[in-house]
Structure 1
């Protein structure tokens, strides 16, 4: 089985790559949003009460603080935070104590998406491009995948029975609301697999007849704000497969914090040989080939940290295959 990842944003070492916040929404923003909700006052009413105390603040600024678009840093803004604690019936320091040190000023850097990165990874006229069509160069724009964990279960014949995928993703701009993953099964003629989404919302699943790729569109439930993280967790169960599988791969366009793959083999039929590898692109040979041990539970795993662009995989040879 080959899996095409939801792609990360390109962040090359040239200094002109994608730049995005490394923080989840600040505790201050979360606490302010919850305090405003509990108090039940509209933002303009809150601003009127601040004005009565000699502090000028706009509803738009308050809205930005709640969404972590901006944070209080100037002296008048810090005075407003202290006053908000009283207006919102909070204890002294309950908001102001959550403010972090000042961060650099200036406009938020624009997100640069390298539209050619996907094609460099898979090559021209790839089946990934065939399956995605016009969306191929920029699919999953607006999110970066930070962590991926996959758990692959094989049946007694060595065929794929189910695959669990977990992603931690971060928004690199305001507004992304979904992730797309593309899976290529060993037996595409077996039809669509059964998909169960545990975290996220399955919005669509379809199979491209020409390439055999199965595309899942999983919604986050709402648009994400810049820097916000969310998780996607789902499982696919295949129909009866005819061909034992001998590898599993994931394509990563670049700069992913970690990738973990676990493969559970049949207890009574462990592989004769099992190893991990890396390929720069779909047409490159395997490099960094390392033997893997199948543990007492019948599983082997591949772990890669600080992943760069390339294809990360595990392959094995069944004991009854020709050497």
Structure 2
């Protein structure tokens, strides 16, 4: 806590206090109400994730109530807020427009009349990629922990793109079901709507599992994950059913149009699996690339 108060943000301190005290957003809302501060759970979720921060007089009264609730010295949290931020669309820092991240998918999103992609936040994303013995992409299994950023969230979109191959099939959904889907065989783009088993209010979380199964395609030499907004954690594992590649490196990109920045080569052990683990993932592309010979 001392380190966070000195070097952290308001959102980080609030998240730490909630975790340490075992408080849900609903219980926090009740505690604030007892102290005369009424705040919606959606607003509390925005404060916790850093998507928004308290600035109005009523919100600042709630912040002072938080200081009392958590036993913090007066103005401890208020001092972390800093000056007010500019309003409007430009006020959302740290994001990449999905048209830049998925340029070939824009017509599909228009056909779906897709809502903005800021209704859910990805907390953790775990992807296990299987490359078959013929060096082709066979399957990607995905587990995601998501958090609603507003009330009445019951679905979200997932994207897939393939090169010189037929389109993949979404299979084995858990805690969700496929909704509307749009595909473009010419560009290899797929957009699928996943409908959650339960409608979420702001701050509530869900765990969803699903997989993409791929028909035979070209030899695979890379795989990546694209983020339009920050996430807490990415775990990317690539398993090779045949011989492991001779060389494998992680890489990052801001968008598909920018040059990749490579990291240090990764060691692949007897399990024939390479893995990449990232925390506090910023918007952009994170992946692995390899050479077979």
Normalising by structure 2, we get a TM-score of: 0.68
- Match 1:197 to one of 168, 173, 180: 173
Q: 1:149 deviation in Å?
A: 0.7
Which residue in 1 is equivalent to 2:227?
Answer: 252
- Match 1:216 to one of 192, 196, 202: 192
Flag structure 2 segments of 5+ consecutive residues without an equivalent: 1-8, 37-66, 71-76, 79-86
Which residue in 2 is equivalent to 1:70?
Answer: 29
1:281–1:173: structure 2 CA closer, same or farther, 3 Å change rule?
same
Distance 1:111 1:135 in 2: 25
Which residue in 1 is equivalent to 2:272?
Answer: 298
1:194–1:246: structure 2 CA closer, same or farther, 3 Å change rule?
same
Q: 1:219 deviation in Å?
A: 1.4
With a CA cutoff of 8 Å and minimum separation of 6, indicate the structure with the bigger relative contact order: 1
Which residue in 2 is equivalent to 1:233?
Answer: 209
> Residue 262 of structure 1: SS of its match in structure 2?
strand
> Residue 117 of structure 1: SS of its match in structure 2?
coil
- Match 2:96 to one of 111, 117, 133: 117
Larger radius of gyration between Structure 1 and Structure 2: 1
Q: 1:133 deviation in Å?
A: 2.5
Q: 1:144 deviation in Å?
A: 0.6
Q: 1:186 deviation in Å?
A: 3.3
Normalising by structure 1, we get a TM-score of: 0.62
Distance 2:129 2:233 in 1: 17
1:28–1:121: structure 2 CA closer, same or farther, 3 Å change rule?
same
Which residue in 1 is equivalent to 2:287?
Answer: 313
The aligned runs of 1:1-323 (5 Å cut-off) are: 22=15, 70-73=29-32, 102=69, 114=92, 117-119=96-98, 121-122=100-101, 126-133=103-110, 138-188=115-165, 190-239=166-215, 241-267=216-242, 269-319=243-293
Distance 1:315 1:196 in 2: 27
**1:114-145 per-position Cα deviation (integer Å, ceiling 9, x unaligned):** 5983257438xx21323323668854331111
Q: 1:169 deviation in Å?
A: 0.7
Distance 2:35 2:284 in 1: 49
Q: 1:202 deviation in Å?
A: 2.1
1:118–1:137 contact (8 Å) kept in structure 2: no
Q: 1:249 deviation in Å?
A: 1.2
1:260–1:301 contact (8 Å) kept in structure 2: yes
Q: 1:68 deviation in Å?
A: 5.3
1:151–1:290: structure 2 CA closer, same or farther, 3 Å change rule?
same
**1:280-308 per-position Cα deviation (integer Å, ceiling 9, x unaligned):** 21111111422111111110011111111
2:105–2:191 contact (8 Å) kept in structure 1: no
**1:240-275 per-position Cα deviation (integer Å, ceiling 9, x unaligned):** x131111111111232111110000133x2111111
Distance 1:175 1:270 in 2: 45
